[in-house]
Amino acid sequence: MAPQAYVQPIVASTSVFKTDLFNGKVLFCTGGGSGICKGMTEAMMRHGANATIVGRKLDRLQQSAKELSAKTGRECLPAQADVRNPASLKEAVAKTIEKFGRIDFVICGAAGNFLAPISGVSENAFKTVMEIDTIGTYNTIKATIAHVRAAKGAYIHVSATLHYSGTPYQVHVSAAKAGVDALSAVLAVEEGPHGVRSNVIAPGPIAGTEGMDRLSPKTHDERFNSAYPVGRMGDVKDIENATVFLFSDAAAYITGQVLPVDGGTEHLRHQFLPYPQAVLEPEKVKHMIKGKL
């Protein structure tokens, strides 16, 4: 029998961290109505925090807030806002302060993405992703910083590993996430003396998320499946555990850092679309793409 690669287990945060770790604390999360950010919010609530989740679709936020409260026994406030609109973010912050009286932690997670080569990304599409990811992060920081300072709290910005080396069909999000990483670094330096920490989580491929479902190839070949040194694709719980750690006092000496949570895939960098065929003949890879081309 051929030797088999070891597969790292998926671990629930409650098996490692105290369940009352964040009692009395409040989380403010943009993009918290779905996907990875919803999982990050659930983890924080599972460990005692109350939360506000922010997004554009109120009906989805309300449903997610009910689910999160039911699962964790904590309070979750749905606040409709567009991170591109500073006034709406300030209103969401005001509602959070009215409801909970404080903001200790902020997750900047609102994002937009699709698949397209540079030649197929319109100027408006590029601008939109930059506005949601980079400017939206800046707007979120501006709207919350006074309260996070008062609480001696922390930020986590959700980035990506796409811009570490050129990723075809991802010019818009690569540029936007590089900007997010830079914002976090400056925030850490400027706000550290005020008691505020700022770090980035850069997820690799995370199974079962809307983004991974839309943006990954329809069929994974063996080359793609073998790209995980830990033996498996990522799980939302992996991001949750990193979130709980970085917001905990155990990470008090960690700020201005980018933490890839990718199972080591960046060290075995594979293009998820065939290269150079994907850039030379984009029409021939359309059948592989779930997202927009």
- For 6-39, the pLDDT digits (tens) are 999 999 999 999 999 999 999 999 999 999 999 9
The Cα–Cα gap between 42 and 277 comes to: 41
> Is 44 inside any structural domain?
yes
Domains: count for the chain: 1
Identify the helix (H) or strand (E) that includes residue 76: strand 76-80
pLDDT averaged over every residue in the chain: 91
> Is 161 inside any structural domain?
yes
Whether the Cβ atoms of residue 247 and residue 191 lie closer than 8 Å to each other: no
> Is 205 inside any structural domain?
yes
Q: CATH number, domain at 150?
A: 3.40.50.720
Q: Which pLDDT band holds residue 220 (cuts at 50, 70, 90)? A: low
All residues at 6 or more sequence positions from 121 whose CB lies less than 8 Å from its CB, including other chains? 171, 172
Lowest mean pLDDT among 24-28, 108-112, 191-195, 270-274: 270-274
The Cα–Cα gap between 234 and 206 comes to: 4
Separation in Å, CA 141 to CA 106, 107, 177: 8, 10, 15
Closest C-alpha among 183, 185, 132, 181 to residue 161: 181
Lowest mean pLDDT among 6-10, 190-194, 277-281: 277-281
> Is 2 inside any structural domain?
no
What is the model's pTM?
0.92
- For 84-137, the pLDDT digits (tens) are 999 999 999 999 999 999 999 999 999 998 889 999 999 999 999 999 999 999
The Cα–Cα gap between 159 and 239 comes to: 12
Give me the catalytic one of 13, 25, 177, 184.
177
> Is 159 inside any structural domain?
yes
> What is the predicted pLDDT for the residue at 281?
82
Say whether 66 is catalytic.
no
> What is the predicted pLDDT for the residue at 171?
95
> Is 10 inside any structural domain?
no
Separation in Å, CA 25 to CA 11, 50, 53, 111, 132: 24, 6, 14, 25, 27
> What is the predicted pLDDT for the residue at 283?
81
User: Strands 258-261 and 76-80, how do they pair?
Assistant: unpaired
> Is 131 inside any structural domain?
yes
Burial (0-12, 13-18, 19+ Cβ within 10 Å), 85: middle
Give me the catalytic one of 64, 88, 159, 198.
159
Whether the Cβ atoms of residue 40 and residue 109 lie closer than 8 Å to each other: yes
Say whether 177 is catalytic.
yes
Q: Which amino acid is at 255?
A: T
Mean pLDDT, residues 158-172 taken together: 92
For 177, list phi and psi in degrees, rounded to 5: -70, -30
Q: Which amino acid is at 73?
A: G
> Is 252 inside any structural domain?
yes
Q: Which pLDDT band holds residue 293 (cuts at 50, 70, 90)? A: very low
Residue 159: domain span: 16-263+273-288
Kindly state the percentage of the chain with pLDDT values over 70. 92
How many residues does this entry show for the chain? 293
Look at residue 261 and tell me whether its pLDDT is greater than 80.
Answer: yes
Give the three-state DSSP class for 169: coil
The radius of gyration of the chain from alpha carbons, rounded to an integer in Å, stands at 19
- For 145-155, the pLDDT digits (tens) are 999 999 999 99
> What is the predicted pLDDT for the residue at 282?
82
Lowest mean pLDDT among 5-9, 199-203, 239-243: 5-9
